[in-house]
Amino acid sequence: MNKVYINAIEKYMPNNPVSNDEMEGILGLVNGNESKSRALILRNNKIKTRYYALDKNGNPTHSNAQLSALAVNKLLENSIDLSEIELLTAGTSSPDAIQPAHALMVHGELGGDHQMEVMSAHGTCNAGMLSLKYAYLAIKAGEVSNAVSAASETLSSWMLAKNYKTEIDKRKEIEDNPYIAFEKDFLRWMLSDGAAAALLQDKPNEKGISLKIEWIDVRSYANKLKTCMYAGCLRDNNGDVTGWRQLSVEEQNNNSILTLKQDAKILQKHIINCGVDHLKKVSEKKNLNTDKIDWFLPHLSSMFFEKEAYNKLKEGGFDIPKEKWFLNLPKVGNVGAASGMLMLEELFNSGNLKQGEKILVMVPESARFSSTYMLLTVV
């Protein structure tokens, strides 16, 4: 089988960084009132800036497909021509439409005269990694010699005040247990927009570094765990969901079906445990020794998880020193499906990587719990 290399990675972040004080002015006030939990949530997630594909008045400036296309065009400026690309994959949790498929919309935005294979990956945080894995496997199997893999989000439009009928006001509960804030209102102060794109080829760069993909391992825990984060459906007390098509328009409106929600109790109990369990299994399967890892890129939805993630990994036998951790959440926010790629993009272009170094990427997903680990070698 072919070896597969990431030879270039670029990002496109829309507009200017949005500070904590600017957020609510852009997203709008729910029922004309300021959020009473915003400051507490921001204190816990430690995000300082994020990006919105919105103007100062909350009007859209970019579609999701446009963000991906802009990242891809930036990627191709210093590499190969669009007409040479054999495969385009794109992952997101916030497509512009239910149909057509997101990757087809990205291809449409790219334009040109070139036809290529196109694949869409849907999900939440893992959608970007699934997109990357399809491209990796296609090159590894010899189906294509190169591919572009993109991941993007336009989550801000979901967070606009017009999508919320009532705002959660649980100040006392949030102070006693920050996990309570990981519900509808929490997500408004965490999520961000942006896109990243990577060029994968069957040969490394002749000049400069490349990242050899050793493996990408994905595991689902949906067979044992109920839905945690959801949109477009109604979730009952048992964790079972009813899709939007089975609900009347009145039921859809009364339950804010189009907003993104999260069950805090399930998140607290399972998100980190699933990640540790997966790392144990993948370490046995791939003979992975985390002591030999030089860089650890964990996707965290909030910096609130950093300490607990470190402690539980250590308890599980994976003592990865904090100086090996590489995170950019505080300055870019949680960009969902693009988060893993955005960490990798920043590290790849930082000038800090050395040949022979090992990079372990971790992307947990809370929608119905799944996890991805990826191992790379700098060549």
Q: Cα angle vertex 283, ends 314, 287, to 5°?
A: 130
Is 23's pLDDT higher than 90? yes
Considering the domain boundaries, does residue 370 fall inside one? yes
CATH number at residue 306: 3.40.47.10
Is 56's pLDDT higher than 50? yes
Assess whether 64 and 179 both reside in one domain: yes
Q: What is the pLDDT at residue 181?
A: 46
User: What is the extent of the structural domain holding 170?
Assistant: 5-208
Euclidean distance between CA atoms 3 and 142, whole angstroms: 10
Write the pLDDT tens digit of every residue in 278-316. Answer: 999 999 999 999 999 999 999 998 898 899 999 999 999
Euclidean distance between CA atoms 156 and 268, whole angstroms: 24
Largest interatomic CA distance in the chain: 60
Q: What is the pLDDT at residue 49?
A: 97
Euclidean distance between CA atoms 239 and 247, whole angstroms: 17
Percent of the chain with pLDDT over 70: 95
Assess whether 152 and 177 both reside in one domain: yes
pLDDT range class, residue 182, cuts 50, 70, 90: very low
pLDDT range class, residue 257, cuts 50, 70, 90: confident
Considering the domain boundaries, does residue 237 fall inside one? no
Write the pLDDT tens digit of every residue in 312-357. Answer: 999 999 999 999 999 999 999 999 999 999 999 999 999 999 999 9
Q: How many independent structural domains does the chain possess?
A: 2
Q: What is the pLDDT at residue 165?
A: 61
Assess whether 153 and 217 both reside in one domain: no
Assess whether 287 and 144 both reside in one domain: no
- pTM of the complete model: 0.93
Considering the domain boundaries, does residue 367 fall inside one? yes
Considering the domain boundaries, does residue 83 fall inside one? yes
pLDDT range class, residue 183, cuts 50, 70, 90: low
Q: Cα dihedral angle (93, 150, 127, 356), rounded to 10 degrees?
A: -140
Instruction: Single out the residue of 363, 376, 373, 379 nearest to residue 151, CA to CA.
Output: 363
Assess whether 224 and 131 both reside in one domain: no
Across the chain, mean pLDDT equals 92
Considering the domain boundaries, does residue 296 fall inside one? yes
Paired tokens of 228: 């945690």
β-partners of residue 10 are: 197
Assess whether 144 and 36 both reside in one domain: yes
Please state the three-class secondary structure of the chain as a single string: CCCCEEEEEEEECCCCCEECCCHHHHHCCECCECCCCHHHHHHHHCCCEECCCECCCCCECCCHHHHHHHHHHHHHHCCCCHHHCCEEEEEECCCCCCCCCHHHHHHHHHCCCCCCEEEEEECCCCHHHHHHHHHHHHHHCCCCCEEEEEEEECCHHHHCHHHCCCCCCCHHHHHHCHHHHCCHHHHHCCECCEEEEEEEECCCCCCCCCEEEEEEEEEECCCCCCCCEECCEEECCCCCEEEHHHCCHHHHHHCCCCCCEECHHHHHHHHHHHHHHHHHHHHHHHCCCHHHCCEEEECCCCHHHHHHHHHHHHHCCCCCCHHHECCCHHHHCECHHHHHHHHHHHHHCCCCCCCCCEEEEEEEECCCCEEEEEEEEEC
Euclidean distance between CA atoms 88 and 148, whole angstroms: 5
Assess whether 363 and 217 both reside in one domain: yes
Q: What is the pLDDT at residue 172?
A: 58
pLDDT range class, residue 246, cuts 50, 70, 90: very high
Is 26's pLDDT higher than 60? yes
**C-alpha 113, offset from chain centre:** 31
8-17, 212-221, 249-258: least confident range: 249-258
Q: What is the pLDDT at residue 178?
A: 54
Assess whether 43 and 173 both reside in one domain: yes
Considering the domain boundaries, does residue 250 fall inside one? no
Considering the domain boundaries, does residue 162 fall inside one? yes
Q: What is the pLDDT at residue 147?
A: 98
pLDDT range class, residue 259, cuts 50, 70, 90: confident
Assess whether 52 and 198 both reside in one domain: yes
Q: What is the pLDDT at residue 116?
A: 97
pLDDT range class, residue 35, cuts 50, 70, 90: confident
Sign of CA dihedral 221, 225, 226, 230: negative
58-62, 120-124, 227-231: least confident range: 227-231
Euclidean distance between CA atoms 262 and 291, whole angstroms: 34
Q: What is the pLDDT at residue 238?
A: 84
Euclidean distance between CA atoms 336 and 60, whole angstroms: 19
Considering the domain boundaries, does residue 252 fall inside one? no
Is 171's pLDDT higher than 60? no
Instruction: Single out the residue of 123, 59, 135, 71 nearest to residue 94, CA to CA.
Output: 123
Assess whether 186 and 216 both reside in one domain: no
Q: What is the pLDDT at residue 299?
A: 97
Assess whether 203 and 281 both reside in one domain: no
Percent of the chain with pLDDT over 90: 79
pLDDT range class, residue 262, cuts 50, 70, 90: confident
Assess whether 178 and 294 both reside in one domain: no
